[in-house]
Structure formats: structure tokens, C-alpha cells
């Protein structure tokens, strides 16, 4: 047996988000999710919405105590725009929210858990979606920078790691391209413009943060997914290239290198779906690259050339160029319907090293969602999630290999800490090191929680 060893300062943590863990108590505004659930509960698993979630708004002290017990070094959650900001136009904060986030952050710091604060986890205040069309409108990007500046000013003396957006592409895809997030539009122009405006909001926030001269760093979390083509045929290779442009390089290139890939801009031009921009905005993007990157990884993206060629009258969609490839005999997590393929985490790590200047990065999400985990309880009531331990172990082995080969990866955050509410899937898939009882909202550490405690204490594990 060989030891898979990580450095003593490797950042072992977990990730969640405000809208999935806090609950709605005391919020001055409704988020997109609260509004959408009230309007259309049928779209949510078992018709369960975000009103209570983990109730961390009231129970965060219990969460932090368990983090401390497990030895977890950091925790990413998000500050909800719709909670922190009372006046969305000026960025003036809500007093109750300021007190809550102050206490939450102070509690983490006192427990030796570094707070990693994200500013957007798919949760636009609904008023901004209705009034302006959300991120399709540049004014919303300006309002986001005001919100971010308020957060930096209030908490930047203690929060040393900031994230502007979590998976911006996923949000824009869901809301404006593929109809899985309210307002459920299907429009490639809306998609490219929203992505661009989010990039402006991001770059403006990076600029604002750096101007404040605080002692800390700022980055973004993306789901960088190197696509795996079905074959080396030209159609399959083109599928992979275009997928890569529209989902990975669309944020990685401007956020790390300061500009879009030419191929991406050429494709938009060719299909007449370019976004509106100015040269000053492009300067802002160029001058405000990130200090680090967070990368979420769950499953690989296999692609193939599309089966059907578009009709000349069709409106352009990026997937004119690619279809998902469901490779026969893939190893699956049947609960979530996602493939399990740990090697991709190594490919991601080496891509960051080779194509993105070996920028500092960390695994900001990775995890395994499973149904009905109560089935796996032992006589003490602990959920024995050996499948999760195996899943994490395999990913860590590949990650460790990449670190040995020079990739600048600084940490690993599991999705998630306590089982939380997951958008339209509500509580269907459980991901945590800690389980959540939906009746009492009580927390119980799972076997994987005790396992990671050992890993952290030993800086690794035996293979
Ligand atoms: C990521 C999101 C998280 C979380 C996770 C698990 O993409 O950043 O918010 O939800 O996926 O996915 P799901 O909840 O859909 O099972």
C-alpha cells in the first residue's frame, strides 16, 4: 500500500450556497428561485421549494461546530444578493443581513474555518429579472458591482477569498438557452449577451476589489469540462472544439488571459449572434484577470458530431455542432444519472497547467448525489456512505498525480457539507458529509465525514 499524500497546507473544505442552505427568513427581496417556486411549484421535485433548506440562517453555529470537529479548513458559501442588499439600485445593505453575515463569518473564523465567500449562485433578485431582463441588461451588471463593493467593504477585513460567480455558464444556459431556469428562454443571442454581461459584472467586481487594497484574493468558479470526443473523426473533433468554446473557454479565456478566443468570436460572427460591447469594456476585462480559479467537476462531457444537420431557417444554437455522446458501458452514478470518470480531474488539472499559465486553482466542487441514503443507516443512525468515500478517494488519487506533475492545485472542496436543497431537484440527491433530517433539520455526520476527518489529520490516505 502506498500513501496518497497531500501537503500540510492543502485546503480541505466543502461548498454550499446561500440559496440552497440559508432559507428565506428575513430576506428583503425574493430571489429568482423563491419567485419561480411560488409561481410554478410543479417544476420542483415533490413540490418542495427553498423556504427552509438547511435553515442555516438559524443553525449556522451547529454547522460551524461540526466543520471544526471534522477539521475542515474552509467553507464556501454565498452571500445572497437578495438578502444583503436592501436598495438594489444603490447597493445599500440591509441591517439584519449585515448582522447575520458578520456573525456567520466571525463564527467560522473563531472555529479556524476560513470563509470563502461567493457572490452569485444562480440567484438573481427577481425584481432585477423582471425590471431589466436580468443579466441580459448591462445595468444589472453595474448593480452587481455595487452589491459586490458593499460586500467587500463590509466583510473584506476578514474574508480573504472571494468568488464573483459560481458556474456563470450554467446560469446563462438554464435561464436563456435551454429552459431549465426561470425565465426559461431559448435564445442564443440572449445567452451570449448574458454571458458577456456577467463577464463585465465579474471584471468590474475584480477591479473594485483590487482598488480597495484589501488583504485577500478574488477569483471565479467555473465548470471547466474538457470535452472527450467520441472518435478522432473531423466531425467529432469539431463537436469537441465548439463545445469547449461555448462552455469552457467562454469564461476561462477572458477571466484568466484577459480576452476571448478568436474562434469563439468568429463563430458568433458567422452565426450573427454577437454580443454588444465597447472597447472600454474589453479593456476592463483585459486589466482585471483573476487571482485564482475554482473548478467544479462532477462528470466528463463526451461529445459527438450531431445526428441532424440544422435547417437553413433554424435559429442558431451552439449544439448545431455537438450532441452528447452516451458511451456504451459507461460507469454511472445511477441516482443522479451522471457518469463517474475520475481521470478527467487529472486532465483538467493538466489543462490549467499547460494552457492557463499554471494559475493557482482548487477543486471548488466535486461530489456524488445519492437517493434515499437513510437506507444505509447503521444501528447508531450513521449513514454508511462507502460509495461516496470510494468516489472521493478515486478523484483525489488522480488529483494527487496531477499535483505531483506540477499542477498548481491548492485544495479540494466536496459538494457539500450538509445535504442541501438542490434547485428543481429539491432533496432528491444527497451529497453531504453530514446528513440532514428533513423533519427536525438535525445534522448527523456520515461515515464519509469521519473518513475525511482522518484524511485531513493524516494529510492523505493509504491507497
Ligand atoms: C453544481 C452547482 C451546485 C449543486 C451541484 C449538484 O453545478 O453549483 O449548486 O447543485 O451542481 O448538482 P445537483 O444539485 O443538480 O444535483
Question: CA 435 to CA 376: how far, in whole Å?
Answer: 12
Question: pLDDT over 90 for what percent of the chain?
Answer: 97
pLDDT (average), residues 3-9: 98
Determine the average pLDDT of the residues in 346-353.
98
d(CA 4, CA 400): 7
pLDDT at residue number 339: 97
Whether residue 327 has pLDDT greater than 80: yes
Task: Please identify, by atom number, the ligand 1 atom nearest to the C-alpha of residue 166.
Answer: 8
Query: Does residue 312 register a pLDDT over 80?
Result: no
pLDDT at 463: 87
- Residue 161 Cα, ligand 1 centroid: separation in angstroms? 21
Give the per-residue pLDDT at 314: 86
Residue 49, sorted as left (phi over 0), alpha (psi -120 to 50) or beta, turns out to be: beta
Cα–Cα distance measured from residue 351 to residue 328, given in angstroms and rounded to the nearest whole number? 26
Cβ-proximal residues to 431 (8 Å cutoff; 6+ apart), any chain: 367, 368, 369, 370, 414, 415, 416, 419, 420, 422
Mutational pocket test of ligand 1: of 431, 432, 436, the residue with most ligand atoms within 8 Å of the beta carbon:
431
Res 135 pLDDT > 80: yes
In short, whether 300's Cβ falls inside 6 Å of ligand 1 is: no
Q: Is the CB of 34 under 6 A from ligand 1?
A: no
* Cell numbers given for 36: 419561480
Q: Which domain holds residue 216?
A: 3-462
For residues 224 and 256, is the Cβ–Cβ distance under 8 A? no
The residue among 365, 374, 364 whose CA lies nearest residue 430 is: 374
Question: In percent, how much of the chain has pLDDT > 70?
Answer: 100
Instruction: Please tell me which residue in 22, 185, 207, 365 is annotated as part of the active site.
Output: 365
CA–CA distances in Å: residue 443 to residues 8, 422, 425, 437, 450 = 29, 17, 20, 7, 14
Domain count for the chain, please give it. Answer: 1
φ and ψ at residue 86, rounded to 5 degrees: -80, -50
Q: pLDDT digits over 259-297, tens only? A: 999 999 999 999 999 999 999 999 999 999 999 999 999
Task: Decide: pTM greater than 0.95.
Answer: yes
Check if 369 has its Cβ closer than 6 Å to any atom of ligand 1.
yes
214-231 residue pLDDT tens: 999 999 999 988 899 999
Answer yes or no: is pLDDT of 70 > 90: yes
Minimal-distance CA residue to ligand 1 atom 10: 422
Question: How far apart, in whole angstroms, are the C-alpha atoms of residue 405 and residue 190?
Answer: 41
Phi-psi region of 462 (alpha: psi -120 to 50; beta: other; left: phi over 0): beta
Average pLDDT taken over every residue of the chain: 97
3-class secondary structure per residue, the chain: CCEEECCCCCEEEEECCHHHHCCCCCCCCCEHHHHHHHHCHHHCHHHCCCCCCCCHHHHHHHHHHHHHHHCCCEEEEECCHHHHEEECCCCEECHHHHHHHHHHHHHHHHCCCEEEEECCCCCCEHHHHHHHCHHHCHHHHHHHHHHHHHHHHHHCCCCCEEEEEECHHHHHHHHHHCCCCCCCCCCHHHHHHHHHHHHHHHHHHHHHHHHCCCCCEEEEEECCCCEEECCCCHHHHHHHHHHHHHHHHHHHHHHHHCCCCHHHHHHHHHCCCCCCCCHHHHHHHHHCCCCEEEEECCCCEEEECCCCCCCCCCCCCHHHCCEECCCCCCCEECCCCEECCCHHHHHHHHHHHHHCCCCCEEEEECCCCECCHHHHECCCCCECCHHHHHHHHHHHHHHHHHHHCCCCEEEEEEECCECCCCHHHCCCCECCCEEECCCCCCEEECHHHHHHHHHHHHCEEEC
Give the up-direction half-sphere exposure of residue 179: CA atoms within 13 A in the CB hemisphere. 3
Residue 134, domain CATH: 3.20.20.80
ipTM over cut 0.85: yes
CB 269 within 8 A of CB 293: no
Average pLDDT over residues 141-149: 99
Per the annotation, the verdict on 114 as an active-site residue is no
pLDDT in tens, 92-112: 999 999 999 999 999 999 999
Give the sign of the dihedral formed by CA 197, CA 198, CA 200, CA 205: positive
Check 107, 167, 241, 281 and give the catalytic one. 167
Give the span between the Cα atoms of 145 and 202, in whole angstroms. 8
pLDDT in tens, 25-64: 999 999 999 999 999 999 999 999 999 999 999 999 999 9
Q: Is the CB of 80 under 6 A from ligand 1?
A: no
Q: Atom 14 of ligand 1 has which residue's CA nearest to it?
A: 422
Question: Catalytic annotation on 365?
Answer: yes
- d(CA 51, CA 24) in angstroms, rounded, equals 5
Nearest to 321 by CA among 394, 241, 221: 241
Amino acid at each position: 500500500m502506498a500513501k496518497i499524500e497531500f501537503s500540510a497546507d492543502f485546503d480541505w473544505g466543502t461548498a454550499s450556497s446561500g440559496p440552497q442552505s440559508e432559507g428565506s427568513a428575513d430576506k428583503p427581496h425574493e430571489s429568482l428561485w423563491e419567485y419561480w417556486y411560488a409561481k410554478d411549484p410543479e417544476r420542483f421535485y415533490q413540490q418542495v421549494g427553498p423556504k427552509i433548506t438547511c435553515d442555516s440562517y438559524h443553525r449556522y453555529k451547529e454547522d460551524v461546530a461540526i466543520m471544526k470537529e471534522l477539521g475542515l479548513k474552509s467553507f464556501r458559501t454565498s452571500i445572497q444578493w437578495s438578502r444583503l442588499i436592501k436598495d438594489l439600485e444603490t447597493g445599500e445593505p440591509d441591517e439584519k443581513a449585515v448582522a447575520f453575515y458578520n456573525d456567520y463569518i466571525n463564527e467560522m473564523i473563531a472555529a479556524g474555518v476560513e470563509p470563502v465567500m461567493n457572490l452569485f449562485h444562480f440567484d438573481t433578485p427577481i425584481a432585477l429579472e423582471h425590471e431589466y431582463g436580468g443579466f441580459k441588461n448591462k445595468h444589472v451588471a453595474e448593480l452587481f458591482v455595487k452589491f459586490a463593493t458593499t460586500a467587500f467593504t463590509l466583510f473584506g477585513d476578514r474574508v480573504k477569498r472571494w468568488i464573483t460567480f459560481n458556474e456563470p455558464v450554467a446560469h446563462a444556459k438554464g435561464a436563456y438557452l435551454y429552459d431549465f431556469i426561470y425565465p426559461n428562454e431559448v435564445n442564443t443571442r440572449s445567452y451570449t449577451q448574458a454571458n458577456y454581461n456577467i463577464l463585465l459584472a465579474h471584471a468590474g467586481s475584480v477591479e473594485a476589489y483590487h482598488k480597495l487594497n484589501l488583504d485577500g484574493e478574488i477569483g471565479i468558479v467555473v465548470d471547466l469540462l474538457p470535452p472527450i470526443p467520441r472518435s478522432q473523426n473531423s466531425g467529432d473533433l469539431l463537436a469537441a472544439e465548439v463545445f469547449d468554446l461555448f462552455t469552457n473557454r467562454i469564461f476561462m479565456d477572458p477571466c484568466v488571459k484577459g480576452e476571448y478566443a478568436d474562434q469563439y468570436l468568429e463563430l458568433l460572427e458567422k452565426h450573427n449572434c454577437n454580443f454588444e460591447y465597447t472597447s472600454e469594456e474589453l479593456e476592463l476585462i483585459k486589466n482585471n484577470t483573476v487571482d485564482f480559479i475554482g473548478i467544479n467537476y462532477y462528470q466528463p462531457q463526451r461529445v459527438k458530431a450531431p445526428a441532424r444537420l440544422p435547417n437553413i431557417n433554424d435559429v442558431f444554437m451552439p449544439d448545431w455542432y455537438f450532441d452528447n455522446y452516451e458511451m456504451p458501458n459507461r460507469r454511472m452514478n445511477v441516482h443522479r444519472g451522471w457518469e463517474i470518470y475520475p481521470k478527467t480531474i487529472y486532465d483538467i488539472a493538466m489543462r490549467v497547467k499547460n494552457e492557463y499559465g499554471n494559475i493557482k486553482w482548487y477543486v471548488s466542487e466535486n461530489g456524488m448525489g445519492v437517493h434515499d441514503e437513510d437506507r444505509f443507516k447503521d444501528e447508531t443512525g450513521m449513514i454508511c456512505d462507502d460509495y461516496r468515500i470510494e468516489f472521493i478517494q478515486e478523484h483525489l488519487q488522480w488529483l494527487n498525480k496531477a499535483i505531483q506533475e506540477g499542477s498548481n492545485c491548492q485544495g479540494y472542496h466536496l459538494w457539500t457539507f450538509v445535504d442541501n436543497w438542490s434547485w428543481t431537484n429539491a432533496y432528491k440527491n444527497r451529497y453531504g458529509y453530514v446528513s440532514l433530517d428533513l423533519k427536525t433539520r438535525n445534522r448527523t455526520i456520515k461515515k464519509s465525514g469521519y473518513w475525511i476527518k482522518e484524511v485531513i489529520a493524516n494529510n492523505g490516505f493509504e491507497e
